[in-house]
Amino acid sequence: MTPVERRVRDRIIQSGPISIAEYMEIALGDPDHGYYRTRDPLGAAGDFVTAPEISQVFGELIGLWCATMWQAVGAPDDVRLVELGPGRGTLMADAIRAAERVPNFLAAADIHLIETSPTLRVRQHDVLEALHPTWHEHFAEISDGPCVVIANEFFDALPVEQFVRTSSGWRRRSIGIDDAAGDLCFVLTDGGRSIPVPFHDAPLGVPCELRPDAEILVDEIARRITREGCAALIIDYGHAVRAPGETLQAIRQHRFDGVLTQPGLADLTAHVDFAAVAEAARAAGADAHGPVAQGVFLDRLGLGLRAQYLCESTPERAEEIRAGCRRLRDPDKMGKLFKALAITPRGSPPPAGFGQNSARTC
């Protein structure tokens, strides 16, 4: 039994079944044994690979996007460049390498990293030390002022709740201990939350997912952007339309694992509900743009041109560069399941990559 499972069981024995969100919080965030607190999960030797680890072009294009959003509000001489869940720091390093060519951007940008994992903070420090970033546990700790926020594969790690429509009303899907076998198992408990309209006609027995922490965070970010200016870019895998169905999954060593099998040793994630993100941003007074499929978004930002340039300047790496870009862009790889959504102050024109006019193919 993993130490996390021990903690989960103790909690259940003490006070009854726990919600899936609580289970995810313990499995991912337990200070001593939580998945993200204890390891670097990225890369071939880890459990999963993310876009910035696949190609430098990803971070470079995002860096230029950030600089463009800063320019769009008049290039203030003080801007917070905030990354949520920066992993190994690769995205930020690539972003800055590209964006420092935009005059005055680097001098204006203060880099802030929201990261709870001590292990990953060390890696980020190694890679980004020269940029003097500041680390935080929460977005709210960042001082007031214009900010550009980026988040790649961050929201999918925030806890989800599941609710199920039954013949006797809505019930919460929780985690308890099976009486006979003694294993962790899913159980239905009392509801205790209002269910959004798009789920009202969900088929009986099909779990519907909500992510309250994401809505709270998006509300905070959208209010800040509305008040102080600039933008946020959220890239993740997920769906554009809210629909019933379970997407919670466990990944270990690049393979699916049981959600309840080895808590603390496997990554637990669920698809991002982009409709809910957009709704939270709009309710906070901001505009939401997209989601746009990642492949389309990157093409519009100039993925093809940048890849071509890199292939010409480093021909010995050309095959690797092309393969990386195909993986990011192709619809049957990361190009369609992954999506980008931007948040801007109300009334702003669509940012680069979100308007039809910015389309650029190669």
Contact in structure between 105 and 131 (CB atoms under 8 Å):
no
Nearest to ligand SAH of 68, 152 (CB atom): 152
Residue nearest to ligand SAH (CB): 85
Paired with 273 in beta bridges are: 239
Nearest to ligand SAH of 209, 287 (CB atom): 209
CB of 268 to ligand SAH, least distance (A): 10
Tokens representing residue 3 in the block:
């130490």
Chain centroid to Cα 8, Å, comes to 25
Nearest to ligand SAH of 165, 271 (CB atom): 271
CB of 306 to ligand SAH, least distance (A): 18
CB of 212 to ligand SAH, least distance (A): 13
CB of 201 to ligand SAH, least distance (A): 32
CB of 79 to ligand SAH, least distance (A): 20
Nearest to ligand SAH of 165, 224 (CB atom): 224
Nearest to ligand SAH of 105, 237 (CB atom): 237
Nearest to ligand SAH of 117, 162 (CB atom): 117
Q: Which residues bind ligand SAH (CB under 6 A)?
A: 36, 42, 50, 52-53, 85-87, 91, 114-117, 120, 152-154, 157
Nearest to ligand SAH of 140, 323 (CB atom): 140
CB of 50 to ligand SAH, least distance (A): 3
Report the distance separating Cα 42 and Cα 27, nearest Å.
17
Nearest to ligand SAH of 217, 275 (CB atom): 217
Report the distance separating Cα 348 and Cα 226, nearest Å.
10
Report the distance separating Cα 189 and Cα 118, nearest Å.
35
CB of 266 to ligand SAH, least distance (A): 14
CB of 71 to ligand SAH, least distance (A): 24
Paired with 187 in beta bridges are: 174
